[in-house]
Structure 1
Amino acid sequence: MNIIAPSVTVFMAAYNASKYIEVAVKSILNQTYQDFELLIVNDGSTDDTSEILKSFKDERIRIINNVENKGLTYTRNIALKEARGQFIAIMDSDDMSYPNRLAIQIDAFNDKPHLALYGGQAKMIDENQKEIGFIEESETNPDLLKVKLLFHNTFVHSSVMIRTSIFREFGGYQEPFAEDYDLFLRIAQKYAVGNSSEFFVAYRWHGSNISRTEGEKIVKQLLPIKGKLLKKIGLKSTISQQKILTNPYLWNDVSIYEYQELFRSLLLYNKQEKTFDDQILEEIIFDKWYDALIHLGGANSAKLFFSKPIFKWRYCTFKKLRKILKKSIKSIIKARK
């Protein structure tokens, strides 16, 4: 029997998700765009997740049950084999998708055949689905997004749609933590990626969010991810440089001169390879260099501020210059006491 493949596979990994999964599933079934399958992998849940899923009688839902809990990376990679759609839309089992999400994403891919990955904005809701705020705005300027992605994740995972062929090309998720950021970063080094200014999902903030329960592990896992990135673009990949690209001011063992070396190397690399928009990269690195000096510069802050090729007069404001001079003077006075 021939099965007509849908355009989109909406992929949902679920583990002990009984509290929220009904709302998540209904938010997909109620999409204005209807040419999809909803592929749900129940990752060995021990609560009522399985019973709730069985209560849905919609032929678009396809359920796979892991015999035991395998974890997110393993479970999400089931989509490598099982996804039937031309596109994979990620949906977390505790979030909600807004009704026009899939329609907007499909339109974007149809308009831009070169696009590999497309996400959107997210509101935050509590356990009772009450709006409590917004996730920091996901960057929509493609060139700016690509540069910012060097330093932090610029996508809301449960808002993203990816071309299935590209998801498979990159072997899906590869890390136990921050696996989404690692995947997006790898894709963005080769293909065009983007974000819509529209709200695609409501992200549920509760006590069991992985970002809350595994925050320290996620930060540590980012270091080897940044290490792979630095090696890929041909730069030194020391632990210090990985830390600078991960969370600049979290570490006490990184010197200001290591910041200087990495920022210079990134600028020189881009002059040769033209991977990033020159002006955007220059401005972001200038701002990060200024912040690093304010945090770590000490008495040499004013002198270091003018380091070439990092310093550019067009990005320097009177306020920044005054603050750097103030930082140097205070440090000198403190050292003489």
Structure 2
Amino acid sequence: MPLLTVLTAAHAGGAEFLPDTGNSVFSQELPDGWEVEWVVQEDGAASTDVRERLPDDERVQYSADEARLGPGITRNLALARARGQYLQNLDVDDMLLPGALTTVIRIFEEHPSVHWAFGQAHDLMPDGSRKSFPPWIPPFGLMPAGRLTDWVIEHDGNWPIPCAGIAYRTASLRAVGGWAALPVGEDIAMMAALSQITDGWQDEAVTWLYRQHPNQLSRHPEQPSWSVIARRFALQRTAAARLSSLSLTGTDIDPQPIAHVGQFMKTPAHLA
């Protein structure tokens, strides 16, 4: 039975939002025959703050880093456990809107050349209101390989899409190494490679809510300096992909054998 993974990097500071996040996942109506799993990876030691807010549901797969490793590494540890052929990223404080997963499944099923896809986002304000904004990089539909990175290069390394809400072919995400090991901008650094070598899709449907609140990681005092480094790293990665003439064209990849690689590996005795 086809499976889609929703991946969430969680942390105790955002645990209060997990019930809303989980409800937005499990209230999704999926196409006939499809199933969803929610892979939650906690950045830090396992905490009751996170675990007690997760539903008692066999579709939830929880694990913890047992150290503070940052969002990029935390997502990659979750990616190692993902079993779905498609993967929707969803931050701990954000929410999917009705029809979100059906939208990305439809895109991938109808457009075999597309490796990543996203819908529009609304800001969810602290008072519960929603704020919309127009797309920075129209038109909607197919986004050929390199078009997004062309825009980024022309706009001083700034990114015109909400990378926190992108869905992927899971095998394609693994092929570019997952998320970058950066304190911020781990998603744009990954997309700097993936969008350079594969086609994507921008859908006009509003599919998720980006929650604005005082404890967002993006409000960290070091965010400005980290952001500059992340944008530079992303530009360097795009340049390297172009100079290397990298390409990723195949989509007929069965994700199940990949997902099961190494599942029975154990810690070597001398490291246990």
Are residue 123 (structure 1) and residue 122 (structure 2) matched? yes
Closer, same or farther in 2 for the Cα pair 1:189/1:64, shift >3 Å?
A: same
Distance in 1 between residues matched to 2:151 and 2:109, nearest whole Å: 26
State the SS of the aligned residue for 1:94: coil
Are residue 30 (structure 1) and residue 27 (structure 2) matched? yes
Closer, same or farther in 2 for the Cα pair 1:47/1:216, shift >3 Å?
A: farther
Distance in 1 between residues matched to 2:196 and 2:27, nearest whole Å: 34
Closer, same or farther in 2 for the Cα pair 1:231/1:163, shift >3 Å?
A: closer
Q: Which amino acid aligns with 1:44?
A: G
Aligned to 1:193: 200
State the SS of the aligned residue for 1:218: helix
State the SS of the aligned residue for 2:72: helix
The structure where helix makes up a greater share of residues is 1
Aligned to 2:150: 147
Aligned to 2:132: 134
Q: CA deviation at 1:112?
A: 0.3
Q: CA deviation at 1:90?
A: 0.3
Higher RCO structure (Cα 8 Å, ≥6 apart):
2
Distance in 2 between residues matched to 1:227 and 1:96, nearest whole Å: 32
| Percentage identity across paired residues of the two chains | 23
Are residue 157 (structure 1) and residue 163 (structure 2) matched? yes
Are residue 20 (structure 1) and residue 54 (structure 2) matched? no
Distance in 1 between residues matched to 2:61 and 2:79, nearest whole Å: 15
State the SS of the aligned residue for 1:19: helix
Closer, same or farther in 2 for the Cα pair 1:231/1:82, shift >3 Å?
A: closer
Q: Which amino acid aligns with 1:219?
A: V
Q: Which residue of 174, 199, 216 corresponds with 2:225?
A: 216
Contact 1:15 1:49 in 2 (8 A): yes
State the SS of the aligned residue for 1:44: coil
Closer, same or farther in 2 for the Cα pair 1:129/1:171, shift >3 Å?
A: same
Are residue 109 (structure 1) and residue 108 (structure 2) matched? yes
Unaligned runs of 5+ in 2: 248-272
Taking structure 1 as the reference length, what is the TM-score of the superposition? 0.63
Aligned to 2:98: 99
State the SS of the aligned residue for 2:16: coil
Aligned to 1:229: 238
Are residue 40 (structure 1) and residue 46 (structure 2) matched? no
Aligned to 1:67: 66
Contact 2:119 2:205 in 1 (8 A): yes
State the SS of the aligned residue for 1:124: strand
Taking structure 2 as the reference length, what is the TM-score of the superposition? 0.77
The structure where strand makes up a greater share of residues is 2
State the SS of the aligned residue for 1:52: coil
Unaligned runs of 5+ in 1: 236-272, 276-337
Contact 2:189 2:233 in 1 (8 A): no
Closer, same or farther in 2 for the Cα pair 1:192/1:81, shift >3 Å?
A: same
Are residue 11 (structure 1) and residue 7 (structure 2) matched? yes
State the SS of the aligned residue for 2:230: helix
Q: CA deviation at 1:51?
A: 1.5
Aligned to 1:311: none
Contact 2:148 2:195 in 1 (8 A): no
Distance in 1 between residues matched to 2:111 and 2:42, nearest whole Å: 34
Q: Which amino acid aligns with 2:27?
A: N
Distance in 2 between residues matched to 1:138 and 1:98, nearest whole Å: 21
Larger Rg: 1
| Matched positions, count | 230
Closer, same or farther in 2 for the Cα pair 1:128/1:19, shift >3 Å?
A: farther
Aligned to 1:279: none
RMSD of aligned Cα (Å): 2.3
Aligned to 1:52: 53
Contact 2:17 2:92 in 1 (8 A): yes
State the SS of the aligned residue for 2:5: strand
Distance in 2 between residues matched to 1:24 and 1:87, nearest whole Å: 19
Distance in 2 between residues matched to 1:79 and 1:47, nearest whole Å: 19
